A and B are shown apart, each in its own frame.
Chain A
C-alpha cells in the first residue's frame, strides 16, 4: 500500500489539492440550498481528503 502511494504520489497529491479547492464550492452550493445532509456528506469527504494530506502531504 505504502509503495503504491509513493509510486503515484504526485498524482494523488494533485488530486487531493483539486478536491480541496472543489469541495468547498460544492459545500457552498449545498449550504445555499439548505441541504444539510449533502453538507454533512461533503464535510465527511473533505475530512477524508484532509486525512490523506495529513498522512502523505
Chain B
C-alpha cells in the first residue's frame, strides 16, 4: 500500500521534477520548461490520475483566468517602468542618491538594499540587479560584488514588489484573501528585510563593515519592514514593496547625514533631470493606488465590472471531485494592474508635456515592454495551466500528503525551502507561488498547521529564491561584463540565500508553536 502511494507520489511530482531538471541542468528558460512540465502533467494526469477532455478543458479555463489576474499587473508594471526609464529618470534617481554619501557601507545599503528594492517595487523581473549592478561598478565596487549585493539586497521586497504580482498569485491559487495572508507574509518578509541588509553589507565588507552599518540597518530596516506591514494589512499590498522602499529611501538619506557615515565627501555628479521629476510618475502612482484602495466610493465605482466564469462539478475517472464554483474574478477597472495603467498613462502624458521623450519614444516603450513581457508571460501561463491540471486530478493533494507524512509537525521548517526551490527553478516568486501555493496550503491543512503562516513561509522562501535564481543572476552578470562567469556570483549569493532561508524556516517553526 505504501509502495503504491510512493509510485503515485513520484508520478504526481513528475511535472515539477521536469521543470526543475530542465531549468537547472539543461539551462532551459522558464517558458520552455513550463511547457514541458505542462506536457508531462497532461500525460500523467490522463494515464495515471484519470483526467478526461472535459476536466482538461475546465482546468485550462481556470488557469487562463488565474493567469490573466497575474499578467494584468506584470504587463502594467513593465509598461510603467519603460515609460519612466525612457525619460532617463531611473539614471537620474541613481545619480541623485549618489550625491548623499561617500561612505561605502551607506552606498551599498542605499543602492543595493533600498534602491534595488525600490526598483523591485516598481518593476521586478531582474530589473533591480540589471540597473544597480552597473551603478555599483561605477562607484568602484568589483563586478562580482556589484551583482551579488542587489541580488541579495532586493529579495525581501519581491513578494509585495512588482505591484504585488507574487502576492496576487498566492491569493489566486490559494483562494484566500489579503486580510488572511498579508499579516504573516509581512512579518516574515519584515524579518528578512534586516537579514538581507546585513548580508548585502557582509558580502562586501565582512563583519567589520556590518558592525559599522548596524545603526543604519536598524533604522532603515525598521522603517521599511514597518511600512511594508502597515501597507500590506491595510489593503494596499500592491504598494507594499514600493512604499516601504520609498520610506527606506527617505530614512536612508537621513541616516547618511549622521556624522559616523559622513567621513568621506559624496559625489558631485549632476543629472539632466531633477530628482522630483524623476520620481513624479511614482508619486502619481501612490495617489492613484491610495485613492483606488482607500476611498470607498472610488473603490466601489471602479469595482463595478468583474469578469468570471461559472464552473460545474468536475469528477475525474478515478473519482476525484472538484467542487462547482466560480473561477477567479477579474476586476477590470479596479484591479491592481488597472491602477498601474492609469498611473502609467498620466505619467507618460506629464513626461511628454515636459519634453522628456525623444521622437518615437512611445514605439520604443511598447517594443521593450513586449520583448520582456512575452517570455515571462509564456512561463507563467504554462506553469499556471499545468498547476491547474494537477489540482483537478488529486496530484497536488498526493504530493502534500506525502510531504505531510514525512515531516508532520516539523513541516514549517521545510516550507520556505519549497518556496526557494520554486523560485530557483523558475526564476520567479510568482511562479513559485503558482506551482507550490496549493501544495503548501493542502499540506498545512493535513498537518493541522496555520495555512496563512505556511503560505507566508512559501512566499518568503520564493522571494529569497530571487537572489539565487540563475535567470536573474544571468541578467545582472550580462550588465557588468561577467557573461559566462556567473559562478562566483552564484556562489556568493547561494551561501547567504541558504542561511536566510534556514533562519526563516526556524522562525516559522517557532511561530507555529506559539500561535
Contact = CB atoms under 8 A, between A and B. Distances in A.
A56 B382 CA distance: 14
B64 A21 contact: yes
19 contacts: A10-B371, A17-B374, A23-B60, A24-B57, A27-B61, A28-B60, A31-B57, A31-B58, A31-B61, A40-B53, A43-B53, A46-B60, A50-B39, A51-B35, A53-B34, A53-B35, A54-B35, A57-B29, A57-B375
Interface string A25-37: 1011011000010
| Dominant SS among interface residues on chain A | helix
A54 B53 contact: no
Q: Which 4 A-B pairs have the closest CB atoms?
A: A57-B31, A28-B61, A24-B64, A54-B35
B377 interface: yes
A30 B54 CA distance: 9
A54 to B, nearest CB: 4
Contacts of A54: 32, 35-36, 39
A24 B61 contact: yes
Given A28-B309, A54-B35, A14 B370 contact: yes
Residue among A24, A27, A54, A56 with max Cβ neighbours from chain B (10 Å): A24
Interface in B202-235: none
A27 B388 CA distance: 14
Nearest to A16: B378
A39 B54 contact: yes
B68 interface: yes
Interface string B17-61: 000000000000101101110110010000000000110111011
Nearest to A37: B53
Given A10-B370, A14-B370, A53 B57 contact: no
Interface residues of B, number: 32
B106 to A, nearest CB: 42
Nearest to A56: B32
Contacts of B29: 57
A40 B55 CA distance: 11
Interface residues of A, number: 28
B378 A30 contact: no
A8 B378 CA distance: 16
B63 interface: yes
Contact of B382 (A39, A42, A50, A55): A50
Contact of B53 (A23, A39, A57): A39
Main secondary structure of the interface of B (DSSP, over half): helix
Contacts of B38: 50
B32 A57 contact: yes
B366 to A, nearest CB: 12
Contacts of B381: 17, 20-21
Contacts of A46: 60
B374 A24 contact: no
B378 A10 contact: no
A14 B377 CA distance: 10
B385 interface: yes
B67 interface: yes
Nearest to B382: A53
B73 to A, nearest CB: 15
Interface string B57-83: 110110110011001000000000000
Contact of B57 (A20, A21, A28): A28
A39 B67 contact: no
B36 A30 contact: no
B45 to A, nearest CB: 12
A17 B327 CA distance: 21
Nearest to A46: B60
B230 to A, nearest CB: 35
A30 B57 CA distance: 8
Nearest to A21: B64
Nearest to A42: B57
Given A39-B54, A57-B378, A27 B35 contact: no
Nearest to A14: B374
Nearest to B32: A57
B370 A27 contact: no
Given A30-B57, A39-B54, 16 more contacts: A14-B370, A17-B381, A20-B64, A20-B378, A21-B64, A21-B68, A25-B61, A25-B64, A27-B58, A28-B58, A31-B53, A39-B56, A39-B57, A42-B57, A43-B53, A53-B378
A12 B437 CA distance: 31
A42 B64 CA distance: 14
Contacts of A25: 61, 64
Contacts of A27: 56-58, 60-61
Contacts of A42: 57
A27 to B, nearest CB: 4
A30 B35 CA distance: 23
B314 to A, nearest CB: 9
Contacts of A21: 64, 67-68, 71, 381
B389 to A, nearest CB: 11
A21 B377 CA distance: 10
Contacts of A16: 378
Contacts of B58: 27-28, 31
A13 B378 contact: yes
B385 A24 contact: yes
A43 to B, nearest CB: 6
Contacts of B375: 13, 57
